[in-house]
Copies of this chain bind each other. A is one copy, B any other.
Amino acid sequence: MARPIVLGVVGDSGAGKTTLNRGVVRILGGGGQVSYISGDDYHRYGRDQRAELGITPLDPAANHLDVLRQHLDHLRASEPILKPNYDHRSGTLGAPTYVRPHPYVVVEGLLNFHTERLRDAHDIRVFLAPPEELRRNWKLTRDCTRRGYTTHQVLAELDRRERDVDAFIAPQRRYADIVVCFMPTDDPDPGKLDAHLILRGTLKHPDLTPVLGPEGDGPTLVQGDGEMLLKIPGSTDSGLASELEEAVWDRMRYASRLWSPRGRPSAGARIRMCGTRPEARAPTRRCTPDRPPRLRPVLTFP
């Protein structure tokens, strides 16, 4: 039996972590195969208490990061945990949930790469870095529609958090094995975004050149110093995107850092990042708060 694999996705509030992971969990086989953890559940304070203390949830002191690390270690050792719960709608802490270990652990959060011990608890570290304007729009839409905030509240909160974003969120980018950036294109369909994946040498990435084909308008790979940049235009054919995915996964699953000496994952197991935001099936011409963009193509990594 291989030990569970921990995939961590970090990014600022509204960067698309949950949307991305919803796809990842589904593709990995759903809840029966994946222990899904949100770092937000490890908030130390409820919303009212944070306001009293003048602290944002982006501050490490406002989170039980030591307990999150403990819990990832337990799941990695195929042990269950009693996971705390934070209710985004009410802004309160609730009774914990018993979470069983599964072959995969998908964990998202604001600060999950903040300490060395937390970083070490992950097998694959992904950082989401959408352009700031896009992220603000995504956050505005979500917080107003699903978390009960007003537009004014969200905008004020975005400003209030700015310092902590610079101090605590952004610096984590350097520890990621894969950095995912979305870029708006000139395409009239605003749902089509270019995706740039920085594949760092901290993981063994596959040779993608056979899949990419001749240079042209399609995906391109730029070899850098200790890292590769995979550019996937928003116009990429979905068949080619799938091929890329296969190629990435096929090599990645042998990456030595991922597996205990005793075992390997099943050949069919694979992680696929699916960038389509389910709440926005119909693309619109502009990336407006009330209609977030559909991300294409499907993003792929191990």
Contacts and interface: CB of A to CB of B under 8 A. Distances in A.
Contact residues on A (Cβ < 8 Å of other chain), bracket: 10 to 19
A291 interface: no
11 contacts: A44-B98, A66-B80, A67-B81, A67-B82, A70-B79, A82-B84, A82-B96, A84-B95, A92-B95, A93-B96, A95-B95
Contacts of A74: 70
A82 B96 CA distance: 10
A95 B98 contact: no
Q: How often does this chain occur in the complex, in copies?
A: 2
Contacts of A81: 67, 70
A37 B62 CA distance: 24
A201 interface: no
A278 interface: no
A64 interface: yes
Contacts of A70: 74, 79, 81
Interface of A: 44, 64, 66-67, 70, 74, 79-82, 84-85, 92-96, 98
Contacts of A98: 44, 64, 67
Contacts of A80: 66-67
Among A64, A79, A82: residue with most chain B CB under 10 A: A82
